[in-house]
Structure 1
Amino acid sequence: MGASVRTNWLGGVIYRLFWILLPCLIAGFIFGQIAWALVAGLSAYLVWNLRQMLRFHQWLTTQPNEPPPETSGVWGNIFDSIHHLQRRNNRMRTRLQLVIDRIQASTAALSDAVVMIDSKGKLEWWNHAAERMLGLRAPDDSGQYVTNLIRDPRFVDFFETGNYRDPLDIPSPIDVSTWLQYTVTHYGEGERLMVVRDVTRLHNLEQMRKDFVANVSHELRTPLTVVVGYLETMQDSEEPINPRWKRPLHQMQQQASRMQSLLNDLLMLARLETGDEVTEETAVDIDLMLIGIRRDAQALSGERNHQITLDAASKTRLRGSEMELRSAFSNLVFNAVKYTPDNGEIHIRWWQDDKGAHLSVADNGTGIAAQHIHRLTERFYRVDSSRSTNTGGTGLGLAIVKHVLLRHQGKLDIVSAPDKGSTFICHFPAARLV
């Protein structure tokens, strides 16, 4: 189609030139000045084209929305084609503007704050909820850096790292009693869309749950200690115990010890959840810590005869809480002992590379199906409740591990498959190394 249009235009130009030069050629023959006659004809044609170009320029610059000037030939086709393109673009622009207006109107009606941020981190647009929840003001804040208006260090770190896989929950910049959840999504060429939701009710419920668990655990600790003390006194008494009571007393002591372990884990978890960062940090010798944990794990294994090996070639020390790190690492190793069959193999490894430090605990146990792996760090989650009952697990070990790693800027990877064993890997950033 484009070739036919070009052929028509070329034919039109040749046709017009023919009828301009033919009279000039005849007049040149009559007066004996053929060359000058042709020059005069071509000059007239050039003047006419220049005039059409001038009209075309004036029309585009001064009256682009008006109908084009009346003319004929190629220039008439050009004027008409440009005018049709303008009308089509205007219709498309109108439709797009209607769509944009509808999107902005629907977004403005949302109860959640929606903020559009350009590739440089500057505010482009926001809805009414953002003004109410974040204190943004139009048009004064337009073009401002978002980190200049939301100055919480946690938000600044969250926004600048660019890792938006998990949302951020922090107090509102205008009301500390209101908790907001920030979710950021990349789009376009480096632009970001930030959605802010009020999660005050969920935060308060979560805090009530934490306070309830912590208070109940603390209140149960004292009477349970009394019960355990009396049971030990009765069993260690020099007076003979009725044989009928030996087995009940032994079972009572076992269950009381298990309950004590559960309360200790609950209190540990409650303490870990109260703060986001470690307050008392020291340089921890992980290799020496792992030697002690391996010794304790071998004692826990006892007659089950597990082969527990340790590879701690790196002497790198880790900056953090020794008590919390010991609790996390021992939970991983002791879990491997509990859930690995007799005579199984458990391998502990501590190493360092350019990404930081890493601890892995691998076993050749029964393994875990893929659908359970993402939920293993939930409190009280059990892949098989009967296994936890037999091994005396509380269901809180991996939840403690997760919170300890979060407080040390680490993360936990779990690799497992049924009948192929499991590997738990703790990753610590290079900034944590001493």
Structure 2
Amino acid sequence: MNHDWRGALTRRLLLLLGGCLLLGLITGQYAWALAFGLGGYLFWCLRQLLRLLDWLQRASDDLPPESSGLWGEVYDLIYQLQKRNQHARGRLQAVVDRVQESTAALQDAVIMLDRQGNLEWWNRAAGTLLGLKRKQDGGQPITNLVRHPHFKKYFAQDNHREPLELPSPVNDHVRLQFQLTLYGNGEHLMLVRDVTRVYQLEQMRKDFVANVSHELRTPLTVITGYLETLLDNVETVNPRWRRPLQQMQQQGSRMQNLLNDLLLLARLEAAPYPADSRPVAVDLLLLSIRTDAQALSADRHRISLEADPTVKLKGSESELRSAFSNLVFNAVKYSPEGGEIRIRWWADESGGHLAVQDSGIGIEAKHIPRLTERFYRVDASRSINTGGTGLGLAIVKHVLIHHSGRLKIDSTVGKGSTFTCHFPLAQVVRS
């Protein structure tokens, strides 16, 4: 209320009191005159309140009741507020309608879930890709409609940075990609995309690599076998052929290593989870790997091992051996003579961790994000000299994906690198 209306109200009350005193002067009954005047004013105010309540309860666009003075101003202000709210609701509804129209036109499914994961709203594509029905599924938990165990695990976890690919619940031949995003007060926004074409192309690539690797393995075995025979009898043939035959054998061995890595990658990609998952004694596994690394180093490096024997890791021992040995052997290959390599395995409240630290040449920061790509080389000539295939860290990455782990790389040029494998607490077994 502004100061003008305060003054008007004060004047109105003063006039009422003056009228009551005048009536009391005429009748000689001041108390009854004052009570009569104030009672009448109170009755009029109650009548205006009832009219206001009746108007608000109708919730219509009718004009406010006619009144004068302060109550007329109250009616007008409430009416203007209603109009502004109606305009605001109209604008918001128009925005909502446009958003719904645009999402309805998308080929990707858009689904809104509450904090408990119950369905609140979805577009038409969600009905096509997931078989959601508007009348039946509203308010239902999404995990009751998408019953795949991997989806339930993905929905329950806190980290949704990586999408999840699963077959469609209504068509096994359709491959879907699920991506969850948290917003508001714990609500979920889920995007579902049909990636069947991309998945088929990826499968074709994997099948091609696996088939070519298998086809090349047999002729390469024959070639390397004959090369070994010729090397054993090179003195009787021609001594001048020794060096060419040795180089051919060396390159044949590199090709065999490359094919073996390609086949291992194909097997890792074919199975999203290890088939022989069981607790693995990581300390004994690392002890065996350190022995092999010392043989590879030929006592040119200091290799130390610190492993907690009470901490085991659920997974495939063969896959873990392949990943851990790649990290340790890389440290040996890329560390100068006299360098130090530290291997450490431990667990804490966040999970299990394996760190392989070397005092080698280090890696520039621009190369680190691409190190796990197939055939990516920081220095092609150096990789050739060390006999690498360019697939070692790609194998490490896929093995860690199988075991719900992740790889972190810290490196400083000229000081060395640290490769750390982090595994969630669910994968760790304490004896």
Q: TM-score range by the shorter chain?
A: over 0.9
Report what 1:333 is aligned to. 328
Identity %: 60
Kept in 1: contact 2:167–2:176 (CA 8 A): yes
- 2:348 matched to 1:353? yes
Q: Using structure 1 for the length normalisation, give the TM-score.
A: 0.95
**Structure 1 residues 11 and 270, CA, compared in 2 at 3 Å: closer, same or farther?**
same
**Structure 1 residues 281 and 64, CA, compared in 2 at 3 Å: closer, same or farther?**
closer
Kept in 2: contact 1:119–1:189 (CA 8 A): yes
Q: What secondary structure sits across from 2:361 in the alignment? A: coil
Report what 1:432 is aligned to. 427
- Distance of 1:283 and 1:398 partners within structure 2: 23
Report what 2:221 is aligned to. 225
How far did residue 431 of structure 1 move? 3.1
- Distance of 2:98 and 2:312 partners within structure 1: 58
Kept in 1: contact 2:406–2:423 (CA 8 A): yes
- 2:246 matched to 1:250? yes
Tell me the C-alpha RMSD between the 2 structures: 1.6
How far did residue 356 of structure 1 move? 2.8
Kept in 1: contact 2:272–2:402 (CA 8 A): yes
Moved more, 88-97 or 18-27: 18-27
Report what 1:74 is aligned to. 70
Deviations 1:14-65 (A, max 9, x none): 2212222323322221222222212211111111111111111111112542
Report what 1:323 is aligned to. 318
Kept in 1: contact 2:179–2:190 (CA 8 A): yes
**Structure 1 residues 22 and 281, CA, compared in 2 at 3 Å: closer, same or farther?**
closer
Structure 2 portions without partners, runs of 5+: none
Report what 1:134 is aligned to. 130
Q: What secondary structure sits across from 1:144 in the alignment? A: coil
Q: What secondary structure sits across from 1:125 in the alignment? A: strand
- 2:39 matched to 1:50? no
How far did residue 76 of structure 1 move? 1.0
- 2:147 matched to 1:160? no
How far did residue 215 of structure 1 move? 0.6
Kept in 2: contact 1:314–1:352 (CA 8 A): no
- Distance of 1:63 and 1:184 partners within structure 2: 40
Q: How many residues align?
A: 429
- 2:307 matched to 1:312? yes
Q: Superposition pairs for residues 167-178 of structure 1, below 5 Å?
A: 167-178=163-174
- 2:289 matched to 1:293? yes
- Distance of 2:26 and 2:318 partners within structure 1: 116
Report what 1:33 is aligned to. 29
- Distance of 2:152 and 2:99 partners within structure 1: 29
Q: Which amino acid aligns with 2:40?
A: A
- Distance of 2:348 and 2:31 partners within structure 1: 88
How far did residue 163 of structure 1 move? 1.9
- Distance of 1:403 and 1:424 partners within structure 2: 15
Q: Superposition pairs for residues 265-280 of structure 1, below 5 Å?
A: 265-280=261-276
Given the alignment, which residue of 10, 14, 39 partners 2:10?
14
